[in-house]
Structure 1
């Protein structure tokens, strides 16, 4: 029986901070000497940008330390390089495989048969997750494609069904599905508390469950803090706090009264955003999966911000994917 390295697949609608959350999760899991591999499969070099390192080659490379002294390694999986590796592994093509790449045949094959491309990308993760011995990782985090494509991407057996009934590609797809449906694998969905991302997340959960793929946590990213007290919020809603009252309060504190209008406008806009956020929190709360909230960090994302997000994630997700 294969003992898989725990795999955390992170997906989400574009603009929800999927790559940032994946990087923070890898940082959270790399604790107390643990080695974690952070993979990306979309060729965007988002991991390199986040960690402020050179563009990642097609090899595993240490890029950062995790919480409490662990190590974060990264790998940018390139489909063409993965296919050359695959051809060498199964067919011993060697230089002949590189000649195919020179003529553009590899790019042609992975373009007309996206199912094969996904087998190559997930196959590299599969090979890493089944390692034993000193080069084994304690966890793998995959920065995966967006929610709208995640089920097709992970369900490689279905995607190659019309292309390969038998042979190495079919066997590879069957093996990958064992990993994707293993108890140690969890697909986490990143969303923000807005209507479209929340609905796409709910739809994504249903699709993943329909394909018998294991859904982990729903990660609520960029959650805005409540900046206005309940009495002030009620006063803004009722209209009892108007420009005149606000101007008088400002002037009594030796502040310019003409700032009252803009301040109240900002306050009402904040209250409206908070109401929308609370409504979507209730909607996503019925998804049947555990929720983790990650705060909006106003100063952008740097190493310090990744560590702050990692602290939130470490308190909620254990290395095997369950609820801490």
Structure 2
């Protein structure tokens, strides 16, 4: 497939990006080179290498993970964006072909800034690599794959599956002598399983307790756990301002803390703009809006006013005001969780595919709030 390059201003007003992009989608636009802003806040989590991103399904965790990778790269870091659920979400967001089990360049800036690579990790490929690296099985390992042994092993032992997935992330974060010449990364962003499974996924030692008390798999689990519970790792949870996602976020934080895993920030995604102030919202909810005054404003704007039009507008206004009241209540609960909170606005244009501009907008918001 033919490839083209396109340039875009960095999320945090840094140098121009140049990204490999499929010719079928066309360039999303050109932006002038920017100048780093002196008011950019310091990072909330300096020294962290591994950013794990989780969240309830539908909250946009994959989008947030991709935006975070872009934001970290704008600081001049070489970043690896990983996914482990087999959904090819990263490929869809960046409108590129499905990712193989291989680190592929997604975004390359001009001189002076970082890069974003992507990797789709699947347990079968991770096990084959593990067998080759530690046991030198080579073709023998591939023969096992043809006989279905690897799929059988990872299916009957989900704990082993998670060790393999997180083990590949560990290998990328801690390149060693067994992987000579491999690229090293300043930061890794892991698009992880949803909140309901994140503690189980990352708590690989406990998951293996009944399967392997000694041996190489247990040794790898211990090594991975050391990274996941260290100061080099934080786990961010993505939510929206609705009751169920906020409650699941609170439960997830409690579960992560209970297992000794480090909680990072809560990212409140898809935040709607506050179009009305408190007094206007209160008037709508109480039904005390001056209908004649509203009609006069509409007439002055050239709108033909009818009773049905006024009734419809007021009904929509009440729904809007009530929605904002509910969101404010959920926002208060989020801020009571005792972790940093970052808010991302709801984008009318959407994110991903042919409209990559949304990702850059979100990345810039993450920068200005210090998550990167």
Q: d(CA) in 2 for partners of 1:102 and 1:5?
A: 39
2:14 aligned residue: none
Of stretches 117-126 and 229-238 in structure 1, the one that deviates more from structure 2 is 229-238
SS at structure 2 position matched to 1:257: coil
- Find out whether 1:165 has 2:218 as its counterpart: no
Q: How does 1:255-294 map to 2 (within 5 A)?
A: 255-258=303-306, 259-294=309-344
1:5 and 1:129 in contact (8 A); partners too: no
Of stretches 218-227 and 239-248 in structure 1, the one that deviates more from structure 2 is 239-248
Q: TM-score, normalised by structure 2?
A: 0.81
Q: Deviations over 1:76-128 (max 9, x none)?
A: 00111001111112222211211111121211111111100000000000001
2:64 aligned residue: 21
2:48 and 2:231 in contact (8 A); partners too: no
2:79 and 2:186 in contact (8 A); partners too: yes
2:74 aligned residue: 31
Deviation (angstroms), 1:248: 3.9
1:322 aligned residue: none
Of stretches 294-303 and 148-157 in structure 1, the one that deviates more from structure 2 is 294-303
- Find out whether 1:178 has 2:196 as its counterpart: no
Q: d(CA) in 2 for partners of 1:233 and 1:160?
A: 53
Q: d(CA) in 1 for partners of 2:358 and 2:340?
A: 23
1:134/1:76 CA distance change after superposition, 3 Å: closer
Match of 1:311 among 349, 364, 370: 364
Deviation (angstroms), 1:40: 0.2
1:189 and 1:219 in contact (8 A); partners too: yes
Q: Report the count of equivalent residues.
A: 316
Q: How does 1:7-86 map to 2 (within 5 A)?
A: 7-65=50-108, 69-86=113-130
Deviation (angstroms), 1:134: 7.6
**Coordinate RMSD, CA, aligned:** 1.9
Q: d(CA) in 2 for partners of 1:171 and 1:233?
A: 58
1:5/1:128 CA distance change after superposition, 3 Å: farther
Match of 2:266 among 211, 218, 243: 218
1:16 and 1:190 in contact (8 A); partners too: yes
2:48 and 2:234 in contact (8 A); partners too: no
1:24 and 1:309 in contact (8 A); partners too: yes
Q: TM-score, normalised by structure 1?
A: 0.93
2:342 and 2:371 in contact (8 A); partners too: no
Q: d(CA) in 2 for partners of 1:93 and 1:299?
A: 49
1:112 aligned residue: 156
1:297 aligned residue: 347
2:74 and 2:114 in contact (8 A); partners too: yes
2:203 and 2:225 in contact (8 A); partners too: yes
Of stretches 263-272 and 276-285 in structure 1, the one that deviates more from structure 2 is 263-272
Unmatched 5+ residue regions in structure 1? Answer: 320-324
Of stretches 63-72 and 146-155 in structure 1, the one that deviates more from structure 2 is 63-72
2:16 aligned residue: none
1:243/1:261 CA distance change after superposition, 3 Å: farther
Unmatched 5+ residue regions in structure 2? Answer: 1-46
